[in-house]
């Protein structure tokens, strides 16, 4: 079975995406900014705004609303739970509809 999830490899300590593969030994990767080991995070695809994402950690159930993302770039966000340290990543997709607006067929066809 093929897994279509998007993976992002980053440092869980500083959020950097720069690392050395197979360093210091074969099979491990090390962050070039802080020296910690890196990890891979599956990004959950969300349509809408990042504010719509729940701030409740799926691992420990604690509220992390005040936490800033440790990684934020190109509509990709990764949060680290302040209590348990679990990483949760999101890929924000553009909305497919307009809220509270009637869609005009001329707009859809490119005519005004």
Interval 66-81: pLDDT, tens: 788 999 998 999 999 9
Top-confidence residue, 39 or 112: 39
What mean pLDDT is predicted for residues 60-65? 87
Do the Cβ atoms of 41 and 6 come closer than 8 Å? no
Q: Is 102's pLDDT higher than 70?
A: no
Q: Is 108's pLDDT higher than 50?
A: yes
Tell me, what's the pLDDT at 105?
56
DSSP state for residue 63 in the 8-state scheme: B
Name which of 50, 32, 36, 45 is nearest 91 in CA terms.
45
Q: Is 32's pLDDT higher than 70?
A: yes
What mean pLDDT is predicted for residues 20-26? 92
Please report which confidence band the pLDDT of residue 53 belongs to, taking 50, 70 and 90 as the band edges.
confident
Whole-angstrom Cα distance, residue 26 to residue 71? 26
- Percent with pLDDT over 90 in the chain: 51
Q: What is the mean pLDDT of the chain?
A: 84
What mean pLDDT is predicted for residues 36-47? 92
Buried b (16+ CB within 10 A) or exposed e, 63-90: ebeeeebbbeeeebbbbbbeeeeebbbb
**Predicted TM-score (pTM) of this structure:** 0.74
């Amino acid at each position: 079975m093929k897994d279509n999830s998007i993976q992002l490899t980053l440092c869980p300590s500083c959020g950097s995406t720069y690392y050395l593969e197979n360093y210091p030994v074969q099979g491990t990767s090390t962050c070039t900014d802080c020296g910690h080991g890196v990890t891979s995070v599956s990004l959950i695809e969300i349509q809408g705004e990042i504010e719509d994402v729940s701030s409740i950690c799926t691992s420990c159930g604690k509220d992390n609303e005040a936490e800033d993302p440790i990684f934020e770039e190109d509509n990709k966000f990764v949060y680290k739970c302040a209590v348990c340290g679990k990483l949760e990543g999101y890929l924000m997709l553009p909305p497919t509809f307009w809220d509270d607006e009637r869609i005009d067929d001329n707009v859809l066809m490119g005519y005004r």
